[in-house]
Copies of this chain bind each other. A is one copy, B any other.
Amino acid sequence: MTKTKQEQSSERREEILGIAARLIAQRGYSATTVRDIAEEAGILSGSLYHHFASKEAMIQEILHGFMDRLLTRYDEIAANATDPRAGIDALIECAFETIGREPSAVGLYQNEAAFLATQPGFEFLVAESERIETIWIGQLRAGQSAGVFRPEGDPAVTYRFIRDAVWSTVRWYRPGGRHTVESMSTQFLALVHSGLDAD
């Protein structure tokens, strides 16, 4: 009934969403006030409501956008993967690239998704997480069947180890330091494929 402007993506909206994502990634959802966001955007907090229906609507839009983009990429990778090893590598590389491209959204997702998933209006988080999980586990299982990955180990658990290690880098990786997203990606691939041990 009441027309949400969710679809008419003006630049101003995107700008504000970017600010919100950054602040929420830094401080957490409930520790970030709409005043904080508005102030950073150079307007009064009430004026935010010209663009968004609520604080909740903002984070929903951020998370929904993030997950949709991610799933699109993952789907493409899964569709084009020639073999499971290449598939897993591409998924990992894609995750690291995503950290480089939109660290705020990743950080926010990493910090808040678990809690928000239990809240009404965020059911999409569970649904899309499961689709992502299916893609990853599919590659891992295919690799085990093909004999390119070790047969022992629950793929669901392995997936979570990999996922958490990769996404968590967003908390400590700072561009411009000793490492790039690519170098971390490389190092992670080496570790995950061959392990720590020397032969």
Contacts and interface: CB of A to CB of B under 8 A. Distances in A.
Interface of A: 26-31, 85, 88, 111, 114-115, 140, 143, 147-154, 157-158, 160-162, 164-165, 168-169, 171-172, 178-179, 184, 187-188, 190-198
16 contacts: A28-B28, A88-B196, A111-B111, A143-B196, A153-B190, A153-B191, A158-B191, A158-B196, A160-B169, A161-B191, A164-B168, A165-B165, A165-B168, A168-B168, A192-B196, A193-B195
Contact of A184 (B157, B171, B193): B157
A192 B195 contact: yes
A164 B169 contact: yes
Contacts of A143: 196
Given A154-B178, A188-B161, A148 B198 contact: yes
A151 B30 CA distance: 44
Nearest to A31: B30
B153 A187 contact: yes
Nearest to A149: B196
Q: Which of A28, A169, A184, A190 has the most chain B CB atoms inside 10 A of its CB?
A: A28
Given A148-B197, A158-B191, A194-B197, 13 more contacts: A29-B31, A30-B30, A140-B196, A149-B198, A150-B190, A150-B197, A152-B190, A157-B179, A158-B196, A161-B165, A161-B191, A162-B165, A164-B165
Given A150-B197, A193-B197, A196-B193, A115 B164 contact: no
A158 B29 CA distance: 30
Nearest to A172: B160
A172 B130 CA distance: 13
Nearest to A26: B115
Contacts of A115: 26-28, 31
